[in-house]
Amino acid sequence: MSVQTLRATSHNDVDEVVLDTLNAIEIGPITTHRNVSVAPIRLPFEARTIYCGWQEAFSVGSIEVREINKTGMVGQLSVTNKSPAKVLLLDGEELCGLKQNRVLGTTVLMPAKSRLTIPVSCSEAGRWSPLDNVRASTPEALMARSGRVNKMRATQRNPKAHGPRSQRYRIDQQQVWASIRTLQQKLGVTSKTEALRDIYIAKKEAIAEYIAAFENAQVGQGIVVWLNGQLVGMELLSLRRGYAAIREQLLRSYIIDALRLHEGIALPAHPMTVEHFIKRCTQGKGRGMRSVGLGVDVRYSGESGFVGSCLVHDSEVVHASFFPAPSLHV
């Protein structure tokens, strides 16, 4: 794997870190329910970077999210980490409230006691509240896998942009709205404000059935998912408890896609497809840029048959998502 870093600093080892991590992945047993198969993935070493997730930080009041000013800006939010610990915000996590619901535009590792302006996209096209006292609520969902893939492909980065690092990300808002509308239409869900959150609420019982079926599946540091027998994604977090906290959200982001597909006969998922996919990822060419928070944000744009992103900090892959290009229509 080759990573081109956009800043010739201490990021020279990024490509080696990503390659070593991919080659070290161990695949656990596959569990299947209806048209979804999942397998845990693990790494044979412990994480060095310690952090807590957005949900955990919200629950103890350590995170404060506000509009960047009184008038607000669709594509940016101000986030303050008041705790002495780092906080990991995941690409695609949805934050409800404020002037409208938003999803994160990239994964961000916030330093302790810090304030950042982060790139976001609107996930609720029909609302822009004039109220200043609408508080953000605890993140409960991730954008559907199909939406995250489309958003990732439609995000442009400009490392030379002036101002906050969040302005280096130019996210195609129309593409985000189109992904949400498509999902709503295929699932037969109506929403007055075209909110992503309303899809998850409408399909709560169907999603719960899948979640219950995977309750006893082994938990590692990440997951590989097949829909209708086709490998469609691989997610990894460096910290075991960090992954455990976000696991259900990740599963739901795939299950919501599974619900819009024709189930038919559940095709068998085989670990060999994971090995082939990981090998393809090791041959990919990434492009790194200094992250909004800590570390280097590495993106893979699809030339090697997959799209993906990695956040690398202190010679460690903190978070990674990879999606095979053939799955983009699934």
pLDDT in tens, 137-150: 766 789 999 999 98
What is the pLDDT averaged over residues 226-247? 94
Please state the rounded mean pLDDT for residues 116-132. 85
CA dist., res. 100 & res. 79, Å (int):
15
162-171, 224-233, 296-305, 317-326: segment of lowest average pLDDT: 162-171
pLDDT at residue 164 in the model: 56
195 within 8 A of 123, measured Cβ to Cβ: yes
Place of tokens 């991730």: 142
Residue 4 has pLDDT above 50, yes or no: no
Which alpha helices (DSSP H) does 266-327 contain, by range?
Answer: 271-282
- Report which secondary-structure segment, H or E, holds 177: helix 173-187
pLDDT tens digit sequence for 129-138? 765 555 677 6
Structure tokens that stand for 308 in this block: 């993906």
**3-state class (DSSP) for residue 255:** helix
CA distances from 284 to 69, 169, 275, 309 (A): 40, 22, 15, 11
In this structure, the number of other CB atoms found within 10 A of the CB of residue 102 comes to: 27
Buried b (16+ CB within 10 A) or exposed e, 139-178: bbbbbbbbbbbbbbbbbebeeeeeeebbebbebeeebbbe
> What pLDDT, on the 0 to 100 scale, is given for residue 128?
87
The whole-number average pLDDT for the span 74-102 is 93
What was the pLDDT predicted at 232?
95
Q: Is 8 exposed, middle or buried (0-12, 13-18, 19+ CB in 10 A)?
A: exposed
180-218 confidence digits (pLDDT tens): 999 999 999 999 999 999 999 999 999 999 999 998 888
Q: Residue 156 — pLDDT band, cuts 50, 70, 90? A: low
Distance between CA 141 and CA 236 in Å, rounded? Answer: 17
Q: How many structural domains comprise the chain?
A: 1
Half-sphere exposure for 202 (CA within 13 Å, toward CB):
18
Q: How many helices (H) and strands (E) does the chain have?
A: 8, 20
CA distance 229 to 270: 9
Strand segments (E) across 43-132? 51-53, 63-66, 76-81, 86-89, 94-95, 102-104, 108-110, 114-122
pLDDT tens digits for 291-305?
A: 999 999 999 887 778
Share of the chain above pLDDT 90, in %: 64
- Mean pLDDT of all residues belonging to the chain: 87
102 vs 193: CA distance, rounded Å: 13
What pLDDT is recorded for position 5?
A: 40
For residue 161, the enclosing domain spans: 2-329
pLDDT of residue 308: 92
Mean pLDDT for 262-276 is 74
Query: Does the structure show a pLDDT above 90 at 256?
Result: yes
Q: Is 204 helix (H, G, I), strand (E, B) or coil?
A: helix
9-28 confidence digits (pLDDT tens) = 344 589 899 999 999 999 99
Write down the pLDDT at residue 225. 96
Q: Please check whether residue 168 is in contact with residue 149, taking contact to mean a CB–CB distance below 8 angstroms.
A: no
pLDDT at residue 32 greater than cutoff 70? yes
pTM of the predicted structure, to 2 decimals: 0.90
Query: How many other C-beta atoms can be found within 10 angstroms of the C-beta atom of residue 69?
Result: 9
- Checking if the pLDDT of 266 tops 80, the result is no
